[in-house]
A and B are shown apart, each in its own frame.
Chain A
Amino acid sequence: MHPVTPVRTYVLIWLTLTILTFVTFYVSTINLGALNIVVALGIAFTKMMLVIWFFMHVRTDNPLTKLFVFAGFFWMAILLALTLGDYFSRAWMPLGKFW
Chain B
Amino acid sequence: MGQQFDSATFGMWVFLLTEIMFFGGMFGAYTVYRSMYPEAFAATSNFMNPAFGAANTAVLIVSSLTMALAVRAAHLGQQKILQIMLVLTMIFGTAFLVIKGFEYHEHWVDMKVPLFPGHWAWDGPLAPPQFAHQAQILFCFYFFMTGFHAIHMVVGLGIMTTILLMARKGSFGPTYYTPVEVSGLYWHFVDIVWIFLFPLLYLIGHTKNLI
Q: Residues on A close to B: CB < 8 A? A: 1-2, 4-5, 7, 10-11, 13-14, 17-18, 21, 24-25, 28-31, 36-37, 40-41, 43-44, 47-48, 51-52, 54-57, 61-62, 64-65, 68-69, 71-73, 75-76, 79-80, 83-84, 87-88, 99
Contacts and interface: CB of A to CB of B under 8 A. Distances in A.
Interface stretch (B55-63, B101-109, B111-119): B55-63
A48 B195 contact: yes
A48 B61 CA distance: 11
A10 B196 contact: no
Contacts of B132: none
A68 B14 contact: yes
Interface in B21-78: 21, 24-25, 27-28, 31-32, 35-36, 50, 54, 57-58, 61-62, 64-65, 67-69, 72, 75-76
Main secondary structure on chain B at its contact with chain A?
helix
B44 to A, nearest CB: 15
A47 B195 contact: yes
Contacts of B184: 55-56
Contact of A55 (B13, B25, B54, B67): B67
A65 B13 contact: yes
Main secondary structure on chain A at its contact with chain B?
helix
A28 B203 contact: yes
B61 to A, nearest CB: 5
A55 B189 CA distance: 10
Contacts of B209: 29
Contacts of B14: 68
Given A25-B50, A30-B210, A79-B25, A44 B196 contact: yes
9 contacts: A17-B64, A51-B192, A55-B65, A56-B185, A57-B181, A73-B20, A76-B28, A88-B35, A99-B36
Contacts of A55: 64-65, 67-68, 184, 188
Interface of B: 2, 5-6, 9-10, 13-14, 16-17, 20-21, 24-25, 27-28, 31-32, 35-36, 50, 54, 57-58, 61-62, 64-65, 67-69, 72, 75-76, 181, 184-185, 188-189, 191-192, 195-196, 198-200, 202-206, 209-211
Nearest to A41: B199
Given A28-B50, A55-B68, A56-B188, A76 B20 contact: yes
Contacts of B50: 25, 28
